[in-house]
Structure 1
Amino acid sequence: MSIKQGFLIEMEHETNNTKRLLERVSDEHLSYKPHEKSMSLGDLLGHIVELHSWVAAGLTKDSFNLMTDYRPFKPTSVAEIKERLEADYQKNVETVNVFDDEEWSKKWKLHVGDHVISEVPKIGAFRFIIHNHLIHHRGQATVYLRLLDIPVPGLYGPSADEHKK
């Protein structure tokens, strides 16, 4: 299996997991914050979805400057979040389909102005800067659902809400 095939499978799986989470949420939940220091659920879901977009938006460049290349996604509805996720997924598939193995080995830099956060091959950026980061935040979102008493979908197997007793 090529790097491309593996990433296409992973992107499809993670996008579907995010869709499963979004199916449980309605617009009334987007302003929920479990703590004053927490992001709202809407902002958190927006960040998760924008992280999905970084495959096409970020990895097609040699560097990604959070001061100039990053525009936070501030959704106003669940429908808007779902539309963005779907549109970005299609762009991601197109991007991965044109990358060859050599492209995945090229250095990629994440920085804020002159401050370098990370400089890794694109294959590493895909895995831990994009996917691990969005999985982390999606896990946070499942806690928000639990606190809102919304059944949590199983993302990597049945959740406590789906487990047969």
Structure 2
Amino acid sequence: MSTMTPDQATIILENVGLPTANAEHPVTKRVIGAIPPNKVDYRPDDIVKSAIDLAWHIVTAEVRFLNAVSSGAFDLTPMPRPDSIRTADDVNRWYSDHFAKAAEKLKQTPGDQLVKTIDFRGIFQFPAVAYVQIGLNHSIHHRGQLSMYLRPMGAKVPSIYGESYDARIEREAKPTARG
């Protein structure tokens, strides 16, 4: 049993968890959106996921973590990428829709639910609210992995936590307005 109170868990969710998730969401979409349509099958090594499958893993796992917090348990049913998800835009559309629903449901989750201990694969047993951050850590980790696929596949790396090299080169190439 957690020593965290329901009020404390609600404060963490409302002031840290959800604002952070909402801030990271467009960053993740930018990185996924940088995958060129003709490079979705790119993989730097045969033992790793393709770019599209890594993007799918990122978004489905993030939504799974958010849903676990609001439902009180992890649904670990496999979520293979449907045939209809073929491009980065397809992944981002799915992500936007499912993230919004999961975040809205999370907003409605009572504090008593947020302090309930949830087991994650026998590895972690934390209060539900902690899994918002753990899910974000997972997404950020794999988003970094995906960003490392981009330049070798011939794509440009978008700005993540500040201007990327590619964004700077693009900015510097634009003519400046003279006043």
Q: Normalising by the residue count of structure 2, what TM-score does the alignment of the two structures yield?
A: 0.78
* Match in the other structure for 1:147: 152
Between the two proteins, the alignment pairs up a number of residues equal to: 158
- Equivalent residue runs for 1:61-100 within 5 Å: 61-64=71-74, 66=76, 69-74=77-82, 75-100=85-110
Check the 8 A contact 1:52/1:88 in 2, yes or no.
no
Q: Which residue of 1 aligns with 2:124?
A: 118
Counterpart contact for 1:44–1:137, Cα < 8 Å: yes
Task: State whether residues 52 and 85 of structure 1, in contact with CA within 8 Å, keep that contact through their aligned partners in structure 2.
Answer: no
* Residue in structure 1 matching 2:133, options 105, 110, 127: 127
Specify the SS of the correspondent of 2:146: helix
Task: Decide which structure has the larger Cα Rg and report it.
Answer: 2
Distance 1:28 1:77 in 2: 9
CA contact (8 A) 1:110 1:118 kept: yes
RMSD (Å), alpha carbons? 2.1
- Within 5 A, what are the aligned runs for 1:54-65? 54-64=64-74
Task: Answer 1 or 2: which has greater strand percent.
Answer: 1
Return the structure number with greater helix share.
2
Q: Distance in 1 between matches of 2:75 and 2:91?
A: 24
TM-score, with length taken from structure 1: 0.84
- CA distance in 2 between counterparts of 1:146 and 1:50 reads 24
- Per the TM alignment, residue 30 of structure 1 is displaced from its structure 2 partner at its CA by 0.9
Out of 23, 29, 37, the residue aligned to residue 47 of structure 2 is 37
What do residues 90-130 of structure 1 show as CA deviations (whole Å, max 9, x unaligned)?
1122122112333221111122xxxx1321111222212x1
Unaligned runs of 5+ in 1: none
Is residue 20 of structure 2 the alignment partner of residue 10 of structure 1? Answer: yes
The superposition leaves residues 123-145 of structure 1 with CA deviations (integer Å, 9 ceiling, x where unpaired) of 222212x1101110000000000
Aligned partners of 1:110 and 1:119 also within 8 Å: yes
Percent sequence identity is 25
